[in-house]
Amino acid sequence: MDLFEYGVQQRMGREAPLAARLRPRTLDEFVGQDEIVGPGRLLRRAIAADRLFSSILFWGPPGTGKTTLAQIIANTTKSHFTSLNAVLAGIADLRKVIAEAKERRKLHQIRTILFVDEVHRWNKAQQDALLPHVEDGTIILIGATTENPYFEVIGALVSRSRIFQLKALTAADTRRILLNALGDTERGYGGVEVQLDEAALTHLVDIAGGDARNALNALELAIETTAPDAAGAIHVTLEVAQESIQRRAVLYDKDGDAHYDTISAFIKSLRGSDPDAALYWLAKMLYAGESPRFILRRLLILAGEDIGLADPLGLVVANAAAQAFEYVGLPEGIYSLVEATLYLATAAKSNSAGAYFKAFQTVEAEGRVDIPQHLQDANRDAKGLGHGQGYVYPHEQAGHHVGQQYLPTALLGTYFYAPSAEGHEAAVQERLARWRAAQEKALGLTETTTLPEMSEAELQAAKRRLSR
């Protein structure tokens, strides 16, 4: 760095926004997040000992200290520290970093820590490119993401990393950060006479919603745009504070209950076919900064679970909306999200796909079952055991249908699927009734049972077993 660059950097340091100037330089200046950096915690010990054991993913809402923690590690480690922003940097930048890291390791035995901000913004191919170098230790990755890494980061990276979840800062934490800013003579407003009303402080803390950057930006704006009074003091009243902070609902309460309650109200409104309520809860979530991708994932689930075959386009529309959103992003990407919401709210509804879980339960409960001989694979019948013998090819029959047996003998006459009479599925119901009658006649079945619908609790329990 020459003298000119040094001067520019010094000036930038002074002129940088308050939040950037006040970025904690050490863990002692870092506020809150005790669960991950409190006394004795693994990450605190690892930073103190300068021994990062593996790659790390910091996951949490904006302005809660992800980048700051990475910077603190940068300030304390003997390893080389370099950073990339996944929104701005691509594969070429990554290759350059990797080449330099290899060189550094070979010539000087120095490790490289690479910080990738918003790592979820890299696509799979870009994330894949990191893998071999994380694997062989050329690079220790510190990724930061506001999105759930189990969905947004490739599995191979997640399994090679330790995930640390940061929470929205508590009201007490945010208050402390604001008061530190007022008191700091070197980087904050310690040298300026500021009178911050209690109501103004409470308002800033409330509306910031646990985002320290948001709180500090608002405080800075309030102070910088208010003229000192006759005595030379800058008076920040509630009105000034209200004007200074961008309104953001405090959706995420401490335990995230509001987050789950709001998405639950949204999904229930869709299932209940109330487009107005669905739009209201959608707006509420987006206003509060909920991730559109999270909402789109829930729409995909709902399309399968609650619209089902009553309108098979439901899943297509939800899927198209999710893809369109990836291309367009906010703000215009909102249309695909809104259209999918309205489509699903007003579509015919069926939960008949839940029939799968009746079959799953049956399989769980039964012992060894033989596959009927005529259904077995004739191509693998090298030993002449009669596999596939007796099978009738439906397309050669009238109406492309033949009444033959497909279930194991013990289950003959058992029906899992009960199509609804809604939308597209009404036609399915009619067709299936005909086919089942033909099959019953051909097989001489006098008794059939349609397994009863499972209760909500049974369904949930079966789903949990399914995902184990």
Q: Which stretch binds ligand ADP (CB under 6 A): 8-16, 20-28, 356-364, 374-382?
A: 20-28
Q: Does residue 62 belong to the site contacting ligand ADP (CB under 6 A)?
A: yes
Q: Which two tokens stand for residue 405?
A: 């047996």
One residue of 23, 175, 358, 387 binding ligand ADP per CB under 6 A? 23
Positions in 369-408 near ligand ADP (CB under 6 A): none
Q: Are 99 and 132 in contact (CB under 8 A)?
A: no
Q: Does residue 20 belong to the site contacting ligand ADP (CB under 6 A)?
A: yes
Q: Does residue 144 belong to the site contacting ligand ADP (CB under 6 A)?
A: yes
Cα 206 to Cα 65, 78, 170, 281, distances in angstroms: 18, 39, 10, 21
Nearer to ligand ADP, 153 or 216 (CB): 216
Shortest distance, position 33 Cβ to ligand ADP, whole Å: 6
Q: Does residue 177 belong to the site contacting ligand ADP (CB under 6 A)?
A: yes
Positions in 97-116 near ligand ADP (CB under 6 A): none
User: Per-residue x/- mask for ligand ADP, residues 196 to 215, rule CB under 6 A?
Assistant: ----------------xx--
Q: What are the residues whose beta carbons fall under 8 Å from the beta carbon of 404, sequence distance 6 or more?
A: 374, 391, 392, 439, 442, 443
Closest C-alpha among 205, 165, 209, 180 to residue 37: 165
Shortest distance, position 217 Cβ to ligand ADP, whole Å: 9
Q: How far apart are CA 58 and CA 147, in angstroms?
A: 10
Nearer to ligand ADP, 133 or 213 (CB): 213
Q: How far apart are CA 270 and CA 347, in angstroms?
A: 9
Q: How far apart are CA 126 and CA 119, in angstroms?
A: 10
Positions in 281-300 near ligand ADP (CB under 6 A): none
Element (DSSP H or E) covering residue 223: helix 212-224
One residue of 27, 47, 56, 66 binding ligand ADP per CB under 6 A? 66
Q: Does residue 149 belong to the site contacting ligand ADP (CB under 6 A)?
A: no
Q: Does residue 67 belong to the site contacting ligand ADP (CB under 6 A)?
A: yes
Q: How far apart are CA 109 and CA 11, in angstroms?
A: 35
Pairing mode of beta strands 194-196, 161-165: unpaired
| Residues engaged in binding ligand ADP (CB under 6 A) | 19-20, 22-24, 30-33, 62-68, 144, 177, 212-213, 216
